[in-house]
Structure 1
Amino acid sequence: MTRVLAVSAVFPPHRHTQAEIAEELARRLPTGTDPGLLRRVHSSVGVEARHLALPLDRYGRLGGFGQCNDTYLEVARDLGARAVRTALDEAGVAPEEVDVVVSTSVTGIATPSLDARLASAAGLRPDVRRVPLFGLGCAGGAAGTARLHDQLAGRPGDVGLLLSVELCSLTLQSADTSMANLVSGALFGDGAAALVAVGAGHPRYGEGPGRRPSGGGPGPVVVDCRSRLYPGTEHLLGWDVGEWGLRPVLGSELPEVVRLHVGEEVASFLAGHDLKPQDVTAWVCHPGGPKVLDALGDVLGLPDDALSQSRRSLARAGNLSSASVLHVLRDTLGDGPPEPGSPGLMLAFGPGFSSELVLLRW
């Protein structure tokens, strides 16, 4: 098993209310487009404010995909380094102690990958093992946790680091008035997160988070993981890639797919550990949007407050793609974790259509 020692959650400094962002995007709509639909979408997604990679007035001056991606590389490197330093400091782990780093991002193209670009500045060893992930989208935070667990299961004496950086605002297509783009422009924000963990053979395995500045208790153990693809749903979520850059693919059927498949998937996964959904005391769920959270709560029969951390994260910062579920985990630790021995479930969805489940125990 794997012990989580610390989780960091960081944002770029530019924060704007949802109303401010809606008005800026309305000014950039193509001539003759009615801004009323854009404003209604922005008011319906449960987001109150978001952090952005750039000041709001800079977005209208960005050029094509090349300039957007150059901006992604610059901002993501600095934001990711801050997330790594914060997590390591809170865990009480020196950078040179890290043996493996898993990184995930889907909002820009980086070769060398982000972990390589920030390794020296963050103090990581030149021989650190790197596992960069791309294409997992919003599932990347949970999938990255699972893949880090896999790495540490094979090398139980090691220290592992997971990094997620997402700058969703740099992918916005201002001339695209499709519903998918309008919803994306209303829902997604920017942020980063990092998680530090150790394998079961490490001396720190028996401890909780290092200094716990947020007042949280012991970090959870990763017990088991499951990845699942749902055939025939590939068209529902992802990027349409072209000279314009990364255009969102966001199917309106996603909540129904969650209702159709995910409830059974979660129940089956938990049953393998003699658990039922009502036994889970901490739901660490990716805040994909209000309709997805509603569908998940309904199909699992959850009480109203079970997904409150996810809804608060969505309202405070929007959907941060792969980083969101790690922000929710950080909030769960900081607000006072569950009783020792109680189970938790990390859950996220991504392109494929896919789900990633991570069983936790405090």
Structure 2
Amino acid sequence: MTIHMERPVIAAQSVAERAAPAVRARIVGVGTAVPGTSYTQQEVLDAFAITDPRVRSVFLNSAIDRRHLVLPGRDAGGRRLPEAQGDLLDRHKSQAVEVGIRALEACLKRTDASLSDLRHLCCVTSTGFLTPGLSALIIKELGIDRHCSRSDIVGMGCNAGLNALNVVAGWSVANPGELAVVLCSEACSSAYAMDSTMRTAVVNSLFGDGSAAVALVADDGTPPGPPAGKDGPRVLKFASCIIPDAVDAMRYDWDRDLGRFSFFLDPQIPYVVGAHAEIVVDRLLAGTGLYRSDISQWLVHSGGKKVIDAVVVNLGLSRHDVRHTIGVLRDYGNVSSGSFLFSYERLLDEGVTRPGDYGVLMTMGPGSTLETALVQW
């Protein structure tokens, strides 16, 4: 005899009630750092004697006021010297380590933690290839405990900060009470190819150098002790969306004419990304009982003016919702994988979050890919 059993009806529950396991990763600190030299868009144009009106228009209509960059040296005539690929890789290594260390130290200071508390270091970069990776170089440079667990995420692009957060949140849950840090360190100017083409103009007008670090500690929701005693948000859920048809729309590949790596951004990519923003956010909120209107804080990658506009339109957001995203683009340009953490730092400094607030973090990059995370204060 076959017995047919009906599935029980489960009442709708909040994310915290329905999805929260005994242990969740919590964001307990953030820190950022940039190189000491910064330039207006006009100063960059002047530095490379760019006179083409089309190229100048791309720079001057980018919604970027200033970027931190490390530009090549000058010859006797004051012209910027060309750099071979090997020189660019050397510059990436030195800048990613030096600026990355400052971001890590700033993050630990805000977390009320020290290097001796660090148990896992995950380093993210897409602007240069290194073996051994940044994590090993920084551990050696700072004298961090040799038994510190580490990981490196290389080449995923501007979305990679959230990919790393996803991985390290899992590590934190498996190691409750232990401090982990995700460090995004991008020396974008060490990947620039300087010529007069529109392909490079779009890239060279957009990216800036910078590093950002975020600290995580897993807890069970009870009042935690230091360094988890910060009132940062708990990480509840992640959702991704890759767009295979746009796999070549954002690339960092070998330019045979220049004999070096160079970026490529398809002019249509802002609209492609924007059209998929609604899909991935709906997936993120599915089953949580939440609507977009329940999200108090939106921290979107500062991918460029058109990208931000496309996301705002497709998600029905206001300019106020993405005020930190816009401000980071204006003051730093697109600092690749760490951009959303620059926005997160500004949100914390603003001091407007309240217990119970929900936030959505969103990044986008090569693949083409959108990454999201749902957090709650």
- Confirm or deny a common fold (TM above 0.5): yes
Partner residue, 2:208: 189
**1:201-280 correspondence to structure 2 within 5 Å:** 205=224, 218-242=231-255, 244-280=259-295
Q: Is the 8 A contact 2:193 2:200 kept in 1?
A: yes
* Aligned mates of 1:327, 1:279 — CA distance in 2: 23
Give the Å deviation of 1:54: 4.2
Q: Is the 8 A contact 1:46 1:290 kept in 2?
A: yes
Partner residue, 2:5: none
Partner residue, 1:80: 100
**1:309 is aligned with what amino acid?**
H
Residue 8 (structure 1) aligned with residue 37 (structure 2)? no
Give the Å deviation of 1:104: 0.3
| SS in structure 2 of the partner of residue 327 of structure 1 | helix
**1:113-132 correspondence to structure 2 within 5 Å:** 113-132=133-152
Residue 21 (structure 1) aligned with residue 49 (structure 2)? no
How many equivalent residue pairs?
349
Seen in structure 2, the aligned counterparts of structure 1 residues 202 and 109 have a Cα distance that, compared at 3 Å, is farther
Seen in structure 2, the aligned counterparts of structure 1 residues 203 and 138 have a Cα distance that, compared at 3 Å, is same
Seen in structure 2, the aligned counterparts of structure 1 residues 153 and 180 have a Cα distance that, compared at 3 Å, is farther
Partner residue, 1:213: none
> 321, 344, 347: which is aligned to 1:332?
347
| SS in structure 2 of the partner of residue 138 of structure 1 | coil
TM-score, scaled to structure 2? 0.87
Seen in structure 2, the aligned counterparts of structure 1 residues 35 and 242 have a Cα distance that, compared at 3 Å, is closer
Partner residue, 1:199: 218
* Aligned mates of 2:276, 2:235 — CA distance in 1: 24
Listed one character per residue, the Cα deviations across residues 167-195 of structure 1 (whole Å, up to 9, x for unaligned) are 11111111251x33101111110000111
Residue 99 (structure 1) aligned with residue 109 (structure 2)? no
Seen in structure 2, the aligned counterparts of structure 1 residues 19 and 248 have a Cα distance that, compared at 3 Å, is same
**2:25 is aligned with what amino acid?**
T
Listed one character per residue, the Cα deviations across residues 198-245 of structure 1 (whole Å, up to 9, x for unaligned) are 0125998467877xxxxxx83111111122212211011121225632
Q: Is the 8 A contact 2:240 2:370 kept in 1?
A: yes
**1:126-141 correspondence to structure 2 within 5 Å:** 126-141=146-161
Seen in structure 2, the aligned counterparts of structure 1 residues 320 and 67 have a Cα distance that, compared at 3 Å, is same
Is the deviation greater in 44-53 or in 252-261?
252-261
Seen in structure 2, the aligned counterparts of structure 1 residues 75 and 225 have a Cα distance that, compared at 3 Å, is same
Seen in structure 2, the aligned counterparts of structure 1 residues 135 and 52 have a Cα distance that, compared at 3 Å, is same
Q: Is the 8 A contact 2:280 2:372 kept in 1?
A: no
Listed one character per residue, the Cα deviations across residues 114-150 of structure 1 (whole Å, up to 9, x for unaligned) are 1110113334210111110012111012222222111
* Aligned mates of 2:341, 2:74 — CA distance in 1: 29
* Aligned mates of 1:224, 1:251 — CA distance in 2: 30
* Aligned mates of 2:250, 2:103 — CA distance in 1: 27
Listed one character per residue, the Cα deviations across residues 300-341 of structure 1 (whole Å, up to 9, x for unaligned) are 111221111100100001000011111111111111142111
> 31, 49, 60: which is aligned to 2:66?
49
Partner residue, 2:308: 293
* Aligned mates of 1:204, 1:60 — CA distance in 2: 55
> 158, 165, 174: which is aligned to 1:154?
174
**1:87 is aligned with what amino acid?**
C
- RMSD of aligned Cα (Å): 2.1
Which residues of structure 1 form unaligned runs of 5+?
A: 211-216
Q: Could you say which structure has the higher helix fraction?
A: 1
Partner residue, 1:360: 375
Seen in structure 2, the aligned counterparts of structure 1 residues 161 and 204 have a Cα distance that, compared at 3 Å, is farther
**1:181 is aligned with what amino acid?**
T
**2:29 is aligned with what amino acid?**
A
* Aligned mates of 2:162, 2:73 — CA distance in 1: 30
Give the Å deviation of 1:360: 1.0
Q: Is the 8 A contact 1:156 1:198 kept in 2?
A: yes
Which residues of structure 2 form unaligned runs of 5+?
A: 1-23
